[in-house]
Amino acid sequence: MVPEELKYTDTHEWLRIDGEYGIVGVTQYGFEKLGDVVYVELPDVGSKVKQGEAFGVIESVKAAVDLIAPISGTVEEVNESAKKSPENLPKDPYGESWLIKVRIENPSEIEKLLTNNAYEELIKE
Amino acid sequence: MKYTTLYESHKTLGAKFVDFSGWQMPLYYTSIIEEAKATRSNVGVFDVSHMARFLINSPSLDFLDILFTNDPRKLGVGKAQYTLLCNERGGIIDDTILMNLDNTRFLLIANACNRYKVLNWLKLYSKNETIEDITESTSSIAIQGPKAEGLAERIFDVELSKLKRFYIFGLDNLIISRTGYTGEDGFEIFTSSNMIFSLWEKAISLGGVPCGLGARDILRLEAGYCLYGNELSEDIDPITSGLERFVKLDNRNFIGSERIRELVINGTKERLVWFRMQDKVIPRKGDDIRYNGMKAGRVTSGGYSPKFDVGIGMGYVESEIAKEGNIVEVVIRNSPRIGIISKR
């Protein structure tokens, strides 16, 4: 079961909406697909991210995968401990392992994201 | 798709599988990194039954001498040798392990991806020799790590401390060779497929950690061992790839030797190097290597190294810059990152 209150992308990112801010992370399923995470590249505070475009990279022993922004906005905060200890990321995908916090530019973009039910349907095997 | 005899056992152990040269092989069971660490600190066990195995019966010295780059005269009974098959251009057809079982039978271990190519190549040059492809009637596991000796002794109930590296030991229907592809001490076991399951189960029940191809790749990369298809191909010669110590040219005339002699004298355009990155950024196959801002080579293998806790890689660079200590830039996702050529 994926958390009900979040929105999802088909590339396995999640978005938690907190007023005018959005917090972004990778889903548990996304981490399972990746395997051991060894490196994360995240944008600088103050930079802009755009819905549907890469904002960073996550590397596992298997591959490097682009992180796709679920929403457009300005990066307000970056999870420094994610950068320092990327290997811990899969342990708490919806909590400690958030990646960036953005100031949402256009709230109507949220409608384009998947609901928890739609996302669960997507990852059903 | 081909399946090794141990496939069901891998499934029971929860393996994630990968298609490797047509074989369904375990990529990892729990975690690639944990498995690599277990092999470095303890003992890992690997199913390597996908590798090609050929029995060469009654080979003449000429047959071995014309085909292999390493000197077959040095391969006494009970010894194993890392040796190459080359084409006329000096390009590597395969990198193999050749074992002399009893002077009349030789066991050749080749890469899974080159199985039929090697078989045809051997047959092309055979006269009175018969070549038996025993890949599917036999199986093989590797036992690797600082505690490999103790584990193997308990599995087989034999003393192995006197078995030196690159020597083999024969038991009933079973060969133990002190070889491996991890940079650790260890053994590779060759036996008939109906015997492998009980050995594998015993190895695990006695503390061997099952390891997949993911860990195997990290371990070989940390050790700087070439992987056919990445570092080695029919367009790459043994000098460029740094394998000259497995090429014995004195008074010999094997396929490719003429070209290789020229390369030894004139030098090669490129050389294989091993490098480590400054941080955990991971070089990948195909990334450019730059020196002083100019393209100077390409990455052939890259990955994260749990041993060094940084990204590591191998690649070909222009011979002039292939020196230990040289700082290069590896262009990873369009951004140049610092790496240092080193000796592992």
Is residue B127 within 8 Å of residue B63, measured between CB atoms?
yes
C-alpha span between B232 and B234 (Å, rounded): 7
Contact flag B282-A35 (C-beta cutoff 8 Å):
no
Judged on CB neighbours under 10 Å (0-12, 13-18, 19+), B209 is buried
CA distance B196 to B190: 8
Taking an 8 Å cut-off on Cβ atoms, the answer to whether A59 and B304 are in contact is yes
Of A38, A41, A57, the CB nearest to B304: A38
- Domain A7-124: state its class: mainly beta
Q: Chain B contacts of A62, Cβ < 8 Å? A: 27, 32, 214
* Residue B169 C-beta-side C-alpha neighbours within 13 Å: 18
If 0-12 CB within 10 Å is exposed, 13-18 middle and 19+ buried, where does residue B266 land?
exposed
Place of tokens 């090794």: B4
Q: Kindly list the residues from chain B whose CB atom is less than 8 angstroms away from the CB atom of residue A61.
A: 32-33, 214, 218, 303-304
Residue A5's pLDDT is 96
B303, A61: Cβ pair inside 8 Å? yes
Q: Which two tokens stand for residue B282?
A: 């991971």
**What's the CATH code, domain B2-47+137-223?**
3.30.1360.120
A108: helix, coil or strand? helix
Calculate the alpha carbon distances from B303 to A10, B174, B282 in Å. Answer: 27, 35, 6
Q: What is the pLDDT of residue B6?
A: 98
Residues linked to residue B107 through DSSP beta bridges, in sequence order? B55, B99
Q: Which two tokens stand for residue B199?
A: 């050995």
Instruction: Per-residue pLDDT tens, chain A, 125 aa: give them.
Output: 899 999 999 999 999 999 999 999 999 999 999 989 999 999 999 999 999 999 999 999 888 899 999 999 999 999 999 999 999 999 999 999 999 999 999 999 999 999 999 999 999 96
Tell me: the pLDDT tens digits for B141-181? 999 999 999 999 999 999 999 999 999 999 989 999 999 99
Enumerate the residues of chain B whose CB falls inside 8 A of the CB of residue A54.
none
> How close B281 comes to chain A (CA, Å)?
6
Distance CA B342, CA B344 (A): 6
Instruction: Kindly indicate the confidence band of residue B274, based on its pLDDT and cuts at 50, 70 and 90.
Output: very high
- Nearest by CB to B282, which of A35, A38, A87? A38
Residue of chain B with shortest Cα separation from A41: B281
Cα–Cα distance for residue pair B23/A118, rounded to 1 Å: 35
Say how far apart CA B35 and CA B218 lie, in whole Å: 10
Contact A64/B282, CB-based, under 8 Å? yes
pLDDT at B344 over 90: no
Q: Residue B287: pLDDT band by 50, 70, 90 thresholds? A: very high
Q: How far apart are CA B267 and CA B204, in angstroms?
A: 48
Whether residue A92 lies within 8 A of chain B, CB to CB, comes out as no
A61 vs B214, B279, B333: nearest CB: B214
The pLDDT tens digits of the residues spanning B229-270 come to: 999 999 999 999 999 999 999 999 999 999 999 999 999 999
Task: Single out the residue of A113, A102, A95, A111 nearest to residue A28, CA to CA.
Answer: A95
B167 token code pair: 């020597």
SS3 content of chain B, % helix, strand, coil (to 5): 25, 35, 40
Tokens of B2: 């081909």
Average pLDDT (B191-207) is 97
With the C-alpha atoms ordered B229, B234, B236, B238, is the resulting torsion angle positive or negative?
Answer: positive
Helix (H, G, I), strand (E, B) or coil at B27: strand
Q: Domain extents for chain A?
A: 7-124
Test the A interface: residue of B28, B33, B308 with most A CBs within 10 Å: B33
Nearest to B316 by CA among B240, B212, B211, B265: B240
What interface predicted TM-score (ipTM) does this complex get? 0.74
- Distance from C-alpha of A104 to C-alpha of B215, rounded to nearest angstrom: 42
Residue of B219, B333, B334, B337 best to disrupt the A interface, most CBs of A under 10 A: B333
In CATH terms, the fold of domain B53-133 is Alpha-Beta Plaits (3.30.70)
What class has domain B269-342? mainly beta
At B45, list the tokens.
Answer: 């066990």
Q: How confident is the model at residue B300 (pLDDT cuts 50, 70, 90)?
A: very high
Distinct helix (H) and strand (E) counts, chain A: 3, 9
What is the pLDDT, as a whole number, of residue A125?
Answer: 67
Q: In Å, how far is B182's CA from the nearest CA of chain A?
A: 17
Query: Which chain A residues are closer than 8 Å to B15 by Cβ?
Result: none
Q: What is the least distance, in Å, from the CA of A38 to any CA of chain B?
A: 7
Query: Does the distance separating the beta carbons of B280 and A86 come in below 8 Å?
Result: yes
Give the per-residue pLDDT at A61: 86
Contact A36 B31 (CB under 8 A): yes
Chain A contact present for B307, CB below 8 A: no
Gap between the Cα atoms of B4 and B200, Å rounded? 12
Residue extents of the structural domains in chain B: 2-47+137-223, 53-133, 269-342
